[in-house]
């Protein structure tokens, strides 16, 4: 979960390439599977971010992790929170990433921004979060993890909307 700080503060997101086998064309955080050679989840996140968008580990300040999130399709996501400066020259991997963009921090911190929606999927009604963006459709696991981060930054627990100690403080410059 790269948090860009500077004049254009926001959460860095990617739109996955349309030709990928899973979650093609969906918005996600840079990242991927942990490999045996990775020393930690953080090392895997840094390796994947470099492969997908050219983000170099030396440009990142790791600040922590959010609790794991398990998707309806069985994936376990371990969100690694990192700070990076505004203006980095990032290059999407053509094989994996169609676009790199940010969700402004002001949108993330706006309690009215995320919406709950319902849709039928495989014969069952499902509810999911959607974040507003003028170009990209931010929904599903990515949106749910963003809701959790937003609640934590605002000092609320995402599970019960009760005040909780903030996990991390991010200040726009």
The fold for domain 2-153 equals Nucleoside Triphosphate Pyrophosphohydrolase (3.90.79)
Domain-wise residue ranges, the chain: 2-153
How far apart are alpha carbons 52 and 94 in whole angstroms? 8
Contact 167, 156 (CB under 8 A): no
For residue 71, the model assigns a pLDDT of 85
pLDDT tens figures, 37-94:
999 999 999 999 999 999 999 999 999 999 999 987 788 999 999 999 999 999 999 8
pLDDT tens figures, 153-164:
988 754 444 333
């Amino acid at each position: 979960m790269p948090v860009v700080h500077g004049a254009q503060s926001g959460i860095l997101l990617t739109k996955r390439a349309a030709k990928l086998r899973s979650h093609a064309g969906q918005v996600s955080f840079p990242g991927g599977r942990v490999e045996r050679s990775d020393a930690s989840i953080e090392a895997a996140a840094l390796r994947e971010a470099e492969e997908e968008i050219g983000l170099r580990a030396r440009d990142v300040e790791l600040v922590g992790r959010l609790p794991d999130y398990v998707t309806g399709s069985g994936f376990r996501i371990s969100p690694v929170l990192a700070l990076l400066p505004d203006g980095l020259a990032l290059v999407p991997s053509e094989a994996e990433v169609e676009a790199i963009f940010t969700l402004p921090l002001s949108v993330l911190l706006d309690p009215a921004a995320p919406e709950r929606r319902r849709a039928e999927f495989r014969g069952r009604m499902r509810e999911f979060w959607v974040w507003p963006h003028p170009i990209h459709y931010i929904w599903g696991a990515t949106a749910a993890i963003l809701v959790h981060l937003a609640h934590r930054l605002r000092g609320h627990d995402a599970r019960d909307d009760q005040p909780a100690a903030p996990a991390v403080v991010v200040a726009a410059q």
